Structure 1
Amino acid sequence: MSKKCHKHNEPCEITPMQQIPLHDKNIDLKKTENPCPIFKVPVVLAETKLQIVVEADIDLDPKATEIKRVTKNVFLTQVKLIPVEFEKASDEHCHHIPGFFKVKKAKLFVAGHIRKNIEYSSSDCQGTLHDRIVTIPFSGFAELKHGDFLISPIIGVSDSGKSYFLNDNNGEVPRLDKNFFQNLVRYNEQPYGELIGANFFELDFSPKTVKPEGEFGVLREKIVMDLFLKVLQVQQFQVHAHRVLPVLDEGTLG
Structure 2
Amino acid sequence: MNNYKKYFKKTRTGFESCSKPEKKDVGAKKQAVVQGKCPPLKQGDQADVTQADFGAFPLEVEGNVLHVPVIHAAVPLAEIELTANLEAKITLPTPAKEIKNIRKNVFLTQCKAVPSLSGTNFVSLFITGFIHKNIQYADGSGYIRDYEVDVPFSCNQTIELANLRDPALTSLKNTVLERRELAQSKHSADQCQYSQVNFEVFNEPIECKLLATFINEVDILKKYDKRGHFNKITEKMELLLFLKLLQVQQVALNDRRDHCETRNQSVMERIQQLRDGIE
Q: Shorter-chain TM-score: what band?
A: 0.5 to 0.7
**Aligned residue in 1 for 2:196:** 181
Gap change, CA 1:193 and 1:28, over 3 Å in 2: closer
Percentage of matched positions with identical amino acids: 30
Partner Cα distance (1:234, 1:20) in 2: 41
Partner Cα distance (2:199, 2:232) in 1: 59
Q: Aligned pair 1:163/2:179, yes or no? A: yes
Gap change, CA 1:228 and 1:31, over 3 Å in 2: closer
Structure 2 unaligned blocks of 5 or more: 1-48, 255-279
**Aligned residue in 2 for 1:76:** 108
Contact 1:62-1:217 within 8 A present in 2 as well = yes
Give the partner amino acid of 1:107. Answer: S
Which range moved further: 33-42 or 72-81? 33-42
Contact 1:36-1:239 within 8 A present in 2 as well = no
**Aligned residue in 2 for 1:228:** 242
Gap change, CA 1:57 and 1:177, over 3 Å in 2: farther
**Aligned residue in 2 for 1:120:** 137
Give the partner amino acid of 1:153. Answer: R
Contact 1:63-1:215 within 8 A present in 2 as well = yes
Gap change, CA 1:52 and 1:177, over 3 Å in 2: farther
> How far 1:191 sits from its partner (Å)?
1.0
Post-superposition Cα deviations, 1:174-208, rounded to whole Å, max 9, x if no partner, equal 33564321122121221121001111121211233
Post-superposition Cα deviations, 1:197-254, rounded to whole Å, max 9, x if no partner, equal 111121211233567x6001121212220111111111122325xxxxxxxxxxxxxx
> How far 1:30 sits from its partner (Å)?
6.5
> How far 1:35 sits from its partner (Å)?
3.7
Q: Select the structure with the greater relative contact order (CA < 8 A; seq sep ≥ 6).
A: 1
- Give the paired residue count: 202
Partner Cα distance (2:243, 2:126) in 1: 12
Q: CA RMSD in A?
A: 3.0
Partner Cα distance (1:200, 1:68) in 2: 18
Contact 1:200-1:225 within 8 A present in 2 as well = yes
> How far 1:135 sits from its partner (Å)?
1.3
> How far 1:166 sits from its partner (Å)?
0.9
**Aligned residue in 1 for 2:154:** 139
Structure 1 unaligned blocks of 5 or more: 1-15, 88-102, 241-254
Gap change, CA 1:31 and 1:152, over 3 Å in 2: closer
Gap change, CA 1:170 and 1:86, over 3 Å in 2: farther
Give the TM-score, by structure 1 length.
Answer: 0.68
- Give the helix-richer structure, 1 or 2: 2
Give the partner amino acid of 2:237. Answer: I
Gap change, CA 1:19 and 1:176, over 3 Å in 2: closer
Higher alpha-carbon Rg? 2
Give the partner amino acid of 2:185. Answer: N
> How far 1:172 sits from its partner (Å)?
2.9
Partner Cα distance (2:51, 2:206) in 1: 55
